[in-house]
Amino acid sequence: MAKPGSHTIIQVALPVPLRRTFDYLPKADTPVNLLQPGTRVKVPFGKRQIIGIIHGIIPHSNFGDDNLKTITGLLDEEAAIGPELVKLCQWAAQYYHHPLGDVYAHALPTLLRSKDDSWEEVSVRWQLTQKGRLIGLDQLGRAKRQIHALKILREHPEGLHQPMLKGFEVEAPILRTLLDKGLVDQHQDRPPRQHWRQDRILAESPLTLNEEQKHALQPIIDSTGFRPFLLEGVTGSGKTEVYLQAITHYLKQGKQALVLVPEIGLTPQTLHRFEARFGVPVVSFHSNLTDRERMISWRKARNGEAAIVLGTRSALFSPMENLGIIVVDEEHDLSYKQQEGFRYNARDLAIIRANQQNIPVVLGSATPTLESLQNARSGRYEHLVLSQRAGNARPPQFRVLDIRQKALTHGMAPELLKEMEERLKARQQVLVFINRRGYAPVLMCHDCGWFKECPHCDHRMTCHANPAHLHCHHCNHQLAIPRFCGNCKSTDLRPIGMGTERLEDNLSALFPKFPVIRIDRDTTQRKQAMSKHLERINTGEPCILVGTQMLAKGHHFPKVTLVAVCDIDAGLFAADFRATEHTAQLLMQVSGRAGRGDDRGLVFLQTHQPGHPLLQTLLSDGYGEFATELTNERRLMGMPPFGYLALLRAESADPRQASQFLNQIERWMQPAAQSLNAEVWGPAPALMPKKARRFRFQLMLRSEQRPALQQLLKQTVKKIEQEAGHRLKWSVDVDPVTL
Ligand code: ADP
Ligand code: ZN
Ligand code: ZN
């Protein structure tokens, strides 16, 4: 094998917050052919030994070849990160202006980032050497255990694996002694791979598609290379069935499928449907896996044992031996965007990955983002539409309830309560949506209006009843309930407003004969908690579901016929320019839980703004028309999808430092921005100006051309790294989904 010459320099990407690679020399005995991009290496860095990823090989270092350190070791025989993911990571690091080493870290399970273990499954086999076979046992003197080991191995000339040897009472230290004496050898065996192709693909027969589904499926299975699809289908229209059949097609060609979903824990039904349909292995990636389990699933995807990988955001970086199709379900879901560190959008990277690997990709949603709709309307994506619910289910009816000047019982109008009672008596289920967890959003002094603010954030603390405490939903800070007012010392402190806990209490009192099941972050935190709730709902017994947007996500509750949205007004007037879009998506998704079975669904919307134009359009003309109107507004403002945005955020414990820093950057950027036809706005305080004791500011960058924005970011990030970046916490957010 070729040995490294004097002109082999290894560029290594390290998990450090710097946007550069580091040069190292190979060890003298390193086979050059193993120095592939994506291979893990251990290197000295400062006083530590850390694991990095080979980025490339170059003949000369810019830092002078003589000053370089030598790598400590090569950890993979075959690169842990294969060529297609290396390419994807490089693209993402560049586009999101994020350190490459950290991007690579997203493509590896924790165990491979922290341990020297091989990613491949190996078992060590011990075998006698020539010397070991020939040596007289008396030459070992009185080393009884060594003699015993030699005897055992002489009975097994083909060698024995470690666990077998243990069975014969030959322990590892003895083997190591024999190894040092040159009497035995170690061999690394790779167990044969159980390729999924040996299994039966389908475990149950597929449903017969309706006409619309057939029309949607055909182009997906006809595509021979990269082709992006937007599958826009109303809730319950049978999008999942289309995914399942499209995937079946590619499995039959011996290819794998990658399916992204917003949150597996919340919607175990999706995973169950995949597992029920396919006879081939489906592995899933979600937050409840141990490091070991994650590693095993990763390996199964990598070496082709898994046919289908289903996972949340980070599963986008799953290694796949032979990927045939990518599906992104509920593409509008905000969870696809990572909101800290490496701020990538898995939905967008899915398109990039499909393009690089020349395969089809399907984005599905009942409420697509304006970006995806625009891509579909402009012809960049193929637009597939399912306008009808599948099977016998009909679309839900909407009823807008004007609650101005109305006497409400626990925030609910009499008409609504009456409707609830009727539905429950008819043994149906009712879903009440309120997007605030806790007991009440604020605990207020009835004498002077004082309330407790979080000492670390610019935000009032939410009142929780069980257990009783005040809770900051932004930094998790918790306090005991105060016994008297912090201002006038009055003891008359009252919870004001409604949260899920309080609604649960109130509804239990109003409808004592029916169980109330509350679903929010507090009741679903424990492992399996969500599954237990869902099981109970799926018994079909009449009950009331109370919950936050967790209830809006893709669930199929056939017995729910009434959905009540207590208060949609807040969402119509939020500061974020995307708030209207998100509110409409949430509203349609929650509504989509109604009437998925045989009985027609009804949706009650309580509002003080019954005439709000966007609400009108949404309800009378549907999400598509609503999206068109909103898209026209965005066009006039030059906002996405017609302009491109990035945020430059900074935060500091000192209230002035972050804004001064951004001020300086802004001054520096203006001339470059002007020549590139881009704009810089700010610095302005973030939407949450103070969070977890830190003051937060941001600059907004906008351009109508993506390359111009990228160019500006590139120059800026470089400048910050060179000059000021180490002084405070800052970050870049390309294509932000919230401001
Ligand atoms: P979506 O993913 O669009 O919300 P689903 O795929 O969950 O819709 O389908 C909703 C319901 O309709 C499911 O119970 C599903 O089994 C059923 N369904 C889907 N396609 C068909 C079909 N072609 N014939 C009969 N039932 C169907
Ligand atoms: Zn007071
Ligand atoms: Zn706080």
Cα within 13 Å of Cα(37), Cβ side: 17
Residue 448 in marked binding region: yes
d(CA 370, CA 579): 12
User: What angle (nearest 5°) sits at the alpha carbon of residue 117, between those of residues 111 and 122?
Assistant: 120
Q: How far is the CA of 436 from the centre of ligand 2 (A)?
A: 25
Q: How far is the CA of 352 from the centre of ligand 2 (A)?
A: 57
**Letter for the amino acid at 158?**
E
Ligand 1 atom 21 nearest Cα: 390
d(CA 56, CA 79): 12
Q: What does the pLDDT look like over 5-37, one tens digit per residue?
A: 557 899 999 998 888 999 999 988 888 888 999
ipTM of the complex: 0.97
d(CA 247, CA 74): 37
Which atom of ligand 1 is closest in space to residue 240's alpha carbon?
Answer: 6
Ligand 1 atom 4 nearest Cα: 236
Write down the residue that tokens 């120059």 correspond to.
Answer: 715
CB atoms near residue 162 (< 10 Å): 16
Ligand 1 atom 12 nearest Cα: 390
Q: In CATH, what is the architecture of 397-439+498-634? A: 3-Layer(aba) Sandwich (3.40)
Q: Are 57 and 8 in contact (CB under 8 A)?
A: yes
Nearest one of 284, 325, 321, 279 to 304, comparing CA atoms: 321
Which atom of ligand 1 is closest in space to residue 393's alpha carbon?
Answer: 12
Dihedral, CA of residue 106, residue 111, residue 116 and residue 119, to nearest 10: -80
Residue 89 in marked binding region: no
> What pLDDT is attached to residue 503?
93
Residue 566 in marked binding region: no
Work out the burial of residue 7: count CB atoms within 10 Å of its CB; fewer than 13 is exposed, 13-18 middle, 19 or more buried: exposed
**Letter for the amino acid at 337?**
K
Contacts of 469 (CB under 8 A, 6+ apart): 478, 479, 480, 481
Q: How far is the CA of 404 from the centre of ligand 2 (A)?
A: 29
Contacts of 35 (CB under 8 A, 6+ apart): 4, 8, 10, 26, 54, 57, 74
Nearest one of 601, 619, 600 to 610, comparing CA atoms: 619
Instruction: Locate the DSSP E strands across 162-297.
Output: 184-189, 227-233, 256-260, 282-285
User: Which of the residues in the chain have pLDDT under 70?
Assistant: 1-6, 65, 198, 574-575, 724-726
Q: How far is the CA of 440 from the centre of ligand 3 (A)?
A: 16
User: Which of 235, 241, 271, 385 for mutating ligand 1's site (highest number of atoms within 8 Å of CB)?
Assistant: 241
Q: How far is the CA of 451 from the centre of ligand 2 (A)?
A: 8
d(CA 260, CA 590): 21
Domain pair 211-386 / 397-439+498-634, same fold: yes
Q: In CATH, what is the architecture of 644-734? A: 2-Layer Sandwich (3.30)
> CA distances (Å), 245 to each of 99, 213, 278, 362, in order?
39, 10, 10, 12
User: Residue 250: helix, strand or coil by DSSP?
Assistant: helix
Token pair in block for residue 10: 């290894």
Residues within 5 A (CB) of ion ligand 3: 454, 456-457, 472, 474-475, 477
d(CA 414, CA 406): 9
Q: How far is the CA of 239 from the centre of ligand 1 (A)?
A: 7
Residue 472 in marked binding region: yes
Residues with beta carbon inside 6 Å of ligand 1? 207-210, 213, 233, 235-241, 390-391, 556
Ligand 1 atom 26 nearest Cα: 391
Counting ligands in written order, the one closest to the CA of 216 is 1
d(CA 729, CA 725): 8
Residue 485 in marked binding region: yes
Classify residue 402 as left (phi > 0), alpha (psi -120 to 50) or beta. Answer: beta
> What pLDDT is attached to residue 5?
52
CA quadruple 102, 104, 109, 113: dihedral sign: negative
Q: Are 455 and 477 in contact (CB under 8 A)?
A: yes
User: What angle (nearest 5°) sits at the alpha carbon of residue 284, between those of residues 52 and 587?
Assistant: 110
Q: How far is the CA of 556 from the centre of ligand 1 (A)?
A: 9
> What pLDDT is attached to residue 32?
84
Q: How far is the CA of 443 from the centre of ligand 1 (A)?
A: 45
d(CA 730, CA 647): 10
Q: Are 97 and 713 in contact (CB under 8 A)?
A: yes
Write down the residue that tokens 């402190």 correspond to.
Answer: 493
Q: What does the pLDDT look like over 368-411, one tens digit per residue?
A: 999 999 999 999 999 999 998 887 778 888 899 898 888 888 88
> What pLDDT is attached to residue 169?
87
Q: In CATH, what is the architecture of 9-114? A: 3-Layer(aba) Sandwich (3.40)
Ligand 1 atom 5 nearest Cα: 238
Superfamily for the 211-386 domain: P-loop containing nucleotide triphosphate hydrolases (3.40.50.300)
d(CA 578, CA 575): 9
Nearest one of 353, 397, 345 to 372, comparing CA atoms: 345
Helix ranges restricted to H, 36-143 = 83-95, 100-106, 110-114, 130-134
b/e per residue, 356-394, with b = 16+ CB within 10 A? ebebbbbbbbbbbbbbbbbbbeeeebbbbbbebbbeebe
Q: How far is the CA of 541 from the centre of ligand 1 (A)?
A: 22
**In the 8-state DSSP scheme, what is residue 336?**
G
Ligand 1 atom 25 nearest Cα: 391
Which atom of ligand 1 is closest in space to residue 210's alpha carbon?
Answer: 23
> CA distances (Å), 593 to each of 104, 349, 366, 433, 737, in order?
39, 29, 12, 11, 25
Residue 463 in marked binding region: no
Domain ranges of the chain: 9-114, 123-189, 211-386, 397-439+498-634, 442-495, 644-734
Q: What are phi and psi of 614, to 5 degrees?
A: -70, -35
Write down the residue that tokens 């619910």 correspond to.
Answer: 389
Counting ligands in written order, the one closest to the CA of 692 is 3
Ligand 1 atom 6 nearest Cα: 238
> What pLDDT is attached to residue 6?
59
